[in-house]
């Protein structure tokens, strides 16, 4: 019989599980304080919802659930997976949120700040640090057209990272409209903007020279490599509107967008640490649905981001039929867990009762119940020849004290406690 | 486009979600204090694990996940669902726990007390109170052969129900060996015990006369209807060994089992309320893997149980190849949520800032950050013509105070607060 978990999916033992729950608890509590309210959507959505074209490449990684009651004839007559499948596991929380908002908007406030967390599933090739089931934690503000949405989301997220004790992270910020401006100014045809963005998005992995080479190969001739080269090298540009506008096309639109960007970002910088927000002219973010501001959280110890998001004003209308401004941030909890220092989580004093097998179990459980009711977490262990190994195990599991319960021990007061190292 | 959740699966809006999280939090914290440790297993398991014959009827309700990369030839050549599916969504937490223990037992203490919660999925016909995704919360003690396991599990569960404020519930207790004794004493052939138990299990739904009629129809002739009729009417038998043994076959074995049962149950009764544990001679519990003690939590307001479990000493060996004594209790969280009184969950004071659209947003977010950092949960709402509706919404969402932020409001100290009803 199989005795391992499914490929790319993990079990969590008590110690890891406690750390995960502690970190996820801080994320939830912090976002709540900032006014984001918890919602829950099912793990399973209809295939038509998942495959509505909003999931980008992730749609291809979806796990398909078979229709119930399929006959051999159904299977043998099928010419596509879609004919045999009507449901799927969600691959992100953004598509389910858009569907949730369309289903429930009548019961939600005009500006709805959502906190939405849970597992998502992607049929990726498993590798180190990449799993087929993993947890995301998303906040989204729906119905707020002004940059107040971006400011609240970044300030709340900065607070989460601070409360988790994460150091050295940065918000990298850009605006899709600036990317459009610089590509247009460089003479890239509009129809080729998407492919140009895909190539620029590889900068971190392959470096500027290789990006320029690939752009030359994949774009129609006639664009200015110099304009794009300056942008690719522009990661140290200061966060001032003039420098950004000049770098990103030097047009009226780029000046307008850069000015708005600097204005709202300054509100974030003022209320967090200076230098925590940086302009990144080459930040693209993969998903097609972003319309203006985009952001990512980078960390020096990680090759990939801790999270990211942006404004996606057009997406909700795909489900609701009416346009709703929307900004979101998604934290990748698995990567976050790698950089959050493990802290002792002790809600209760942890004590163990080492009992003589001859001790009446009625006394044993009465003593346990007394300790539980007076604020302890209690584990029972039988006495054995090798108590040293038992004590080591208890200490490793975070227990602070152990007391013997013998045949004559009648109450917790009669116990002599031994401290565990 | 589809704008509803998948059939039988639910969205939870903030108010319901808060109640769910609060109840699940109390369950987890209470079981932790009683020494049960949190683990997590993936939602998805291999089909060979799920369909190992331990899931009973629930196996038939499993959602099958399609293999990735199937071709048209694969589908057209398939003669069963199994050929196209390699994974499935778990339909309970017991089969995954047995698999988890087999995978990880080397890292676990000799007696392992597990707390395991999360959603499970069953492709049932949706109806009132029955969903296709629902949450279970299980505790299991693995490696403890003595009835200490049963006692700890029932005492911890009684504590959970008490802390949740649930009234009027009862533990109904039986032992599979007593059922075997009474069926044997009544002359029911051993090969017909399973079908007899299935019929007896319908007592709550169809009543004693109909059970006796169906037994007469489905069993071979020659058994004593009188012995079984007495058992079916015996729900008011006291919890003493003599009465139970007489009712359940009146054999040496029934006397031995009844005596053990009364002995451990008395430890539970002593430490909870008198009368909270009752003997139910007709309790069967559907699953085939139970070997001796079985229990169920009944509630007067509910037609079905709040949870149940029992001892299943033979199950782990199906995965591990070695026998491990095991006792478990599973709480059905959806039904529990129906009977838990809704309580206000206020970790932080909830305050709202009603802002003039002309107020500088830099001041607005600075005031918000100050309130968050001083222990408040803060929501921003724009001022509008109809503030009465805004205040009603805020009050309904549990906000206690609202303060105006105007164009000249520079700090939280300058705000005049209005109490919300």
Residue extents of the structural domains in chain A: 349-419
Nearest residue to A266 (alpha-carbon basis) of A253, A277, A256: A277
Q: Looking at beta carbons, which residues of chain A come within 8 Å of B100?
A: 5, 11
CA atoms of A140 and B333, how far apart (whole Å): 28
Position B85 scores a pLDDT of: 96
pLDDT digits 0-9 by tens, A149-164: 999 999 999 999 998 9
Rounded CA-CA distance A67/B117 in Å is 27
pLDDT reported for residue A347: 65
What count of residues does chain B have?
Answer: 421
Instruction: Quote the minimal CA–CA distance from A277 to chain B in Å.
Output: 16
Give the closest residue to B143 by CA, choosing from B111, B113, B114: B111
Instruction: Kindly list the residues from chain B whose CB atom is less than 8 angstroms away from the CB atom of residue A37.
Output: 14, 17, 397
Which chain A residue has the Cα nearest residue B38? Answer: A14
- A contacts of B65 (beta carbons < 8 Å): 63-66, 89
Which residues, 6+ apart, have CB-to-CB distance to B25 below 8 Å? Answer: none
Task: Give the minimum alpha-carbon distance from A232 to chain B in angstroms, rounded to a whole number.
Answer: 32
Return the number of other C-beta atoms located less than 10 Å from residue B144's C-beta: 22
- Residue of B44, B124, B272, B356 to mutate for A, most A C-beta atoms under 10 A: B44
Chain A partners within 8 Å of B365 (Cβ): 148, 151-152, 155, 267, 271
Put simply, the answer to whether A364 touches B148 (Cβ < 8 Å) is yes
For the record, the structure tokens of B345 come out as: 């969950």
User: Average model confidence (pLDDT) for chain A?
Assistant: 92
Residue A279 confidence (pLDDT): 95
Strands B133-142 and B112-121: antiparallel
Q: At A185, is the secondary structure helix, strand, or coil?
A: helix
CA distances for A296 relative to A173, A326, B112, angstroms? 7, 17, 42
> Half-sphere exposure (CA, 13 Å, Cβ side) for A129?
12
Residue pair B46/B87 in contact (Cβ under 8 Å)? The answer is yes
Cβ-contact B156, A369 below 8 angstroms: no
- Which residues from chain B sit within 8 angstroms of residue A365, using beta carbons? 148, 151-152, 155, 267, 271
ipTM: 0.90
Contact A177, A190 (CB under 8 A): no
Superfamily name and number for B14-339: Bira Bifunctional Protein; Domain 2 (3.30.930.10)
What lies within 8 Å, CB to CB, of A31 at 6+ separation is A115, A137, A139, A156, A160
Q: Which pLDDT score, from 0 to 100, does residue A118 have? A: 98
The model's pLDDT over A17-59, given as tens digits with 9 standing for 90+, comes to 999 999 999 999 999 889 899 999 999 999 999 998 888 889 9
Nearest CA distance, A78 vs chain B (angstrom): 7
SS3 B101: helix
Q: What is the pLDDT of residue B195?
A: 93
Closest partner residue to A42 (CB to CB) among B5, B109, B377 is B5
Instruction: Please give the share of chain A, as a percent, with pLDDT higher than 90.
Output: 75
A107 and B13 within 8 Å at the Cβ level: the answer is yes
Residues of A in contact with B58 (CB under 8 A): none
**Under 8 Å between Cβ of A306 and A337:** no
- Residue A2: pLDDT band with limits 50, 70, 90: low
In A77-147, which ranges are continuous DSSP H helix? Answer: 81-84, 94-104
- Rounded Cα distance between B374 and B371, Å, is 5
Flag if A380 and B152 touch (Cβ within 8 Å). yes
Please give the Cα distance from B140 to B115 (Å, whole number). 7
The Cα of B32 is separated from the nearest Cα of chain A by a number of Å equal to 6
pLDDT confidence of residue B11: 98
- pLDDT (tens digit per residue) in A353-383: 999 999 998 899 889 989 988 888 889 999 9
Nearest Cα residue in chain A from B70: A81
State the Cα–Cα distance between residues A392 and B391, nearest whole angstrom.
Answer: 57
How sure is the predictor about A236, in pLDDT bands with cuts at 50, 70 and 90? confident
Rounded CA-CA distance A311/A289 in Å is: 8
Q: Which helix (H) or strand (E) holds B65?
A: strand B64-66
CA distance A68 to A49: 19
In order along its 421 residues, chain B shows pLDDT tens digits of: 558 999 999 999 998 999 999 999 999 999 988 989 999 999 999 999 999 888 888 999 999 999 999 999 999 999 899 999 999 999 999 999 999 999 999 999 889 999 999 999 999 988 887 899 999 999 999 999 999 999 999 999 999 999 899 999 999 999 999 999 999 999 999 999 999 999 999 998 899 999 999 999 999 999 999 999 999 998 888 899 999 999 999 999 999 999 999 999 998 998 888 789 999 999 999 878 899 999 999 998 888 899 999 999 988 998 988 999 999 999 999 999 989 987 756 567 889 999 999 999 889 988 998 998 888 888 989 999 999 999 998 998 889 999 999 999 999 999 999 999 7
Which secondary-structure segment (H or E) carries A120? strand A112-121
Strands of A244-375, DSSP E: 277-279, 293-298, 307-311, 326-332, 349-355
* Token pair 């039986």 in the structure block, residue: B174
pTM as predicted? 0.91
Q: What integer pLDDT is reported at residue A86 of this predicted model?
A: 96
A49/B1 CB distance under 8 A? yes
């Amino acid at each position: 019989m199989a005795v391992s978990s499914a490929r790319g999916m993990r079990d969590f033992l008590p110690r890891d599980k406690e750390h995960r729950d502690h970190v996820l608890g801080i994320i939830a509590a912090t976002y709540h304080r900032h006014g984001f309210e918890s919602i829950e959507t099912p793990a399973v959505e209809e295939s038509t919802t998942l495959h509505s074209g909003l999931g980008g490449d992730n749609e291809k990684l979806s796990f398909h659930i078979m229709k119930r009651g399929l006959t051999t004839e159904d299977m043998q007559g099928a010419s596509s997976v879609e004919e045999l499948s009507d449901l799927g596991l969600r691959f992100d929380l953004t598509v389910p949120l858009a569907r949730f908002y369309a289903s429930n908007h009548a019961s939600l406030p005009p500006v709805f700040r959502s906190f939405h967390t849970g597992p998502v599933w992607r049929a990726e090739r498993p590798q180190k640090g990449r799993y087929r089931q993993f947890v995301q934690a998303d906040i989204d503000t729906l119905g707020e057209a002004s940059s107040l949405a971006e400011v609240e989301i970044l300030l709340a997220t900065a607070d989460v990272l601070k409360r988790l004790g994460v150091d050295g992270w940065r918000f990298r910020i850009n605006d899709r409209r600036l990317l459009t401006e610089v590509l247009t100014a460089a003479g890239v045809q509009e129809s080729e903007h998407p492919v140009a963005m895909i190539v620029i998005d590889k900068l971190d992995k392959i470096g500027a020279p290789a990006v320029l080479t690939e752009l030359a190969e994949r774009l129609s001739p006639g664009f200015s490599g110099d304009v794009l080269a300056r942008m690719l090298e522009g990661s140290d540009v200061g966060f001032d509107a003039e420098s950004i506008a000049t770098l990103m096309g030097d047009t009226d639109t780029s000046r307008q967008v850069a000015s708005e960007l600097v204005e709202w970002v300054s509100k974030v910088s003022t209320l967090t640490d200076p230098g925590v927000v940086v302009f990144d002219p080459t930040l693209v973010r993969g998903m097609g649905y972003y319309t203006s501001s985009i952001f990512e959280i980078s960390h020096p110890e990680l090759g990939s981001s801790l999270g990211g998001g942006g404004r996606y004003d057009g997406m909700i209308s795909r489900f609701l039929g009416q346009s709703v401004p929307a900004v979101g941030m998604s934290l990748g909890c698995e990567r976050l867990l790698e950089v959050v220092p493990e802290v002792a989580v002790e809600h209760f004093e942890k004590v163990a009762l080492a009992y003589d097998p001859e001790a009446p179990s009625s006394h044993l459980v009465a003593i346990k119940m007394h300790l539980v009711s007076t604020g302890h977490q209690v584990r029972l262990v039988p006495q054995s020849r090798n108590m040293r190994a038992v004590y080591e195990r208890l200490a490793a599991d975070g227990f602070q004290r152990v007391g013997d319960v013998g045949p004559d021990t009648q109450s917790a007061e009669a116990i002599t406690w031994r401290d565990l190292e």
